[in-house]
């Protein structure tokens, strides 16, 4: 049984207002009463109403403008929190045993596209790691990773036998920001062999590029074994 939320908490008021919007009492694009009016109606302080409305605005249910008041969004925008998948967590949360295996590791000059992404001076080498993420020993995802040694020189000596390249980097460069691209691509020969599928099979693919304070850190391509899905609520 769900515990009812008190009427005069910011959560209670938020849900009450949400219900009134959903019920159609205030229609799409329509202006709803001001904070002062709502505070009086609900018998609470304006601060509390403000918090409720700010949350609804963040969720995309209403739009707020000074002087313009608060309006129901004309076209509701669905949005969701998307958590970047961490391999180990992902596998273990499904009740499987996680492991990973380095397929190859070297230092060399990356192809043009990667040099550009990593903003590498020409002919500067970078670390390259190919690895396989496994669930209960079965291939789960294939990872190609380039690491900018200009930004993270210590990566050359990283011991990747017990933690993945990602885990090592997270410990050494914890707060990086990044850009993510999701796409579908056809398995090449190597991917097909390592992921146990056929050449040309459709693979869900994620590219990531991360920075720490204006310096590029690493560029990753993750190809997931067939059947992989990302799921989230909206």
Partner DNA sequence: GAGTGGTCTAGACCACGGT
Partner DNA sequence: CCGTGGTCTAGACCACTCA
- Interaction site with a copy of itself (CB under 8 A): 21-22, 28, 61, 75-84, 86, 170-171, 174-175, 177-186, 200-205, 208, 213, 224, 226, 228-234
Instruction: Write down the least CB distance from residue 5 to DNA, Å.
Output: 9
35 binds DNA (CB under 7 A): yes
Per DSSP, 131 falls in state E
- Footprint on residues 55-114 left by DNA (CB under 7 A): 57, 64-70
* Bridging pattern class, strands 31-32 and 69-72: antiparallel
Nearest distance in Å: CB 79, a copy of itself:
5
Tell me which residue of 60, 57, 48 sits closest to 6, measured CA to CA: 48
Annotate 169-200 with b (16+ C-beta within 10 A) or e (fewer): beeebeebeeeeeeeeeebeeebbebbebeee
Up-side HSE of residue 24: CA atoms within 13 Å toward CB?
Answer: 0
Q: Which is nearer to DNA, 68 or 227 (CB)?
A: 68
Nearest approach in angstroms of CB 93 to DNA is 21
Task: Return the one option of DNA, a copy of itself, none that residue 111 interacts with (CB less than 5 to 8 A, by type).
Answer: none
Tell me which residue has tokens 């550009």: 116
Rounded-to-integer distance, Cα 107 and Cα 126, Å? 5
User: Which entry of a copy of itself, DNA, none binds 79, CB below 5 to 8 A by partner kind?
Assistant: a copy of itself
CB–CB of 120/79 below 8 Å?
no
54 binds, among a copy of itself, DNA, none (CB under 5 to 8 A by kind): DNA
Q: Tell the smallest beta-carbon distance from residue 38 to DNA (Å).
A: 8
The region of 19-27, 42-50, 101-109, 119-127 touching DNA under the rule CB under 7 A is: 42-50
Query: Which region holds residue 69: left if phi is over 0, alpha if psi is between -120 and 50, else beta?
Result: left
Sites of contact with DNA (CB under 7 A): 8-12, 34-36, 43-48, 50-51, 53-54, 57, 64-70
């Amino acid at each position: 049984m769900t515990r009812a939320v008190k009427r005069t908490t910011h959560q209670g008021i938020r849900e009450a207002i949400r219900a009134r919007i959903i019920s159609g009492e205030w229609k799409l694009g329509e202006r709803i009463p001001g904070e002062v009016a709502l505070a009086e109606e609900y018998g609470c302080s304006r601060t509390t109403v403000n918090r409720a409305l700010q949350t609804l605005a963040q969720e995309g249910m209403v739009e707020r403008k000074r002087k313009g008041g608060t309006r129901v969004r004309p076209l509701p925008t669905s949005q969701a929190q998307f958590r970047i998948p961490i391999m180990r967590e992902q596998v273990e949360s499904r009740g499987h045993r996680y492991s990973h295996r380095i397929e190859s590791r070297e230092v060399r000059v990356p192809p043009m596209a990667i040099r550009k992404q990593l903003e590498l001076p020409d002919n500067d080498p970078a670390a390259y790691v190919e690895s396989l993420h496994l669930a209960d020993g079965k291939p789960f995802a294939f990872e190609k990773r380039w690491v900018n040694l200009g930004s993270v020189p210590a990566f050359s000596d990283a011991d990747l036998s017990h933690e993945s390249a990602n885990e090592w980097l997270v410990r050494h460069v914890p707060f990086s920001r990044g850009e993510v691209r999701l796409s579908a691509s056809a398995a090449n020969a190597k991917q097909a062999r390592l992921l146990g599928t056929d050449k040309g099979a459709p693979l869900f693919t994620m590219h990531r590029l991360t920075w720490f304070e204006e310096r590029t850190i690493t560029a990753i391509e993750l190809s997931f074994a067939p059947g992989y899905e990302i799921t989230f609520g909206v």
